[in-house]
């Protein structure tokens, strides 16, 4: 069975697609009131949302190409940054929404953080023999 036909890989890819769809649906709505009330909370929300997306992308990357670690500047990072750019560009078209460079910066920082976390988790799992590189 090829890696793309593996059920877990397909489920993970569908989860990523669903999550990206949810991000864009959320971007289509007016921002939550609380995000404007607490300074910087919107940046934290961007960071966390894109950290989770980055973790999903790293998991898929490890699944498709087993290796000891994901390089900091890698395909998962590139994909998440491109999605951040697309989301910020999309928000410019939505009345009541704004596109900010600092939101994209928070998205990128979240993706970088996800790669660091994913590599640490992979290292721990390898040292405890919970995963193998085939």
pTM of the model: 0.86
For position 18, what pLDDT does the model report? 97
For 117, counting Cβ atoms within 10 Å of its Cβ (0-12 exposed, 13-18 middle, 19+ buried), the class is middle
Distance from the first to the final alpha carbon of the chain: 14
For position 65, what pLDDT does the model report? 85
For position 13, what pLDDT does the model report? 94
Please list the rounded mean pLDDT of every run of 10 residues in the chain (134 residues). Answer: 70 96 90 73 92 96 86 90 94 86 95 95 82 58
Q: How many CB atoms lie within 10 A of CB 37?
A: 8
Q: How many CB atoms lie within 10 A of CB 84?
A: 23
Q: Nearest-CA neighbor of 46 among 84, 90, 86?
A: 84
> Cβ contacts of residue 26 below 8 Å, gap of 6+?
none
């Amino acid at each position: 069975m090829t890696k793309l036909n593996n059920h877990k890989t397909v489920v993970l890819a569908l989860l990523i697609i669903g999550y990206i769809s949810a991000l864009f649906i959320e971007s289509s709505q007016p921002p939550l009131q609380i995000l404007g009330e607490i300074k910087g909370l919107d940046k934290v929300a961007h960071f966390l949302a894109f950290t989770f997306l980055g973790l999903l992308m790293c998991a898929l990357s490890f699944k498709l190409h087993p290796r000891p670690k994901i390089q900091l500047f890698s395909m998962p990072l590139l994909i998440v940054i491109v999605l951040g750019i697309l989301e910020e560009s999309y928000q410019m078209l939505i009345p009541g929404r704004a596109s900010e460079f600092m939101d994209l910066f928070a998205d990128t920082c979240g993706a970088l953080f996800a790669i660091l976390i994913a590599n640490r988790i992979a290292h721990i799992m390898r040292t405890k023999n919970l995963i193998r590189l085939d």
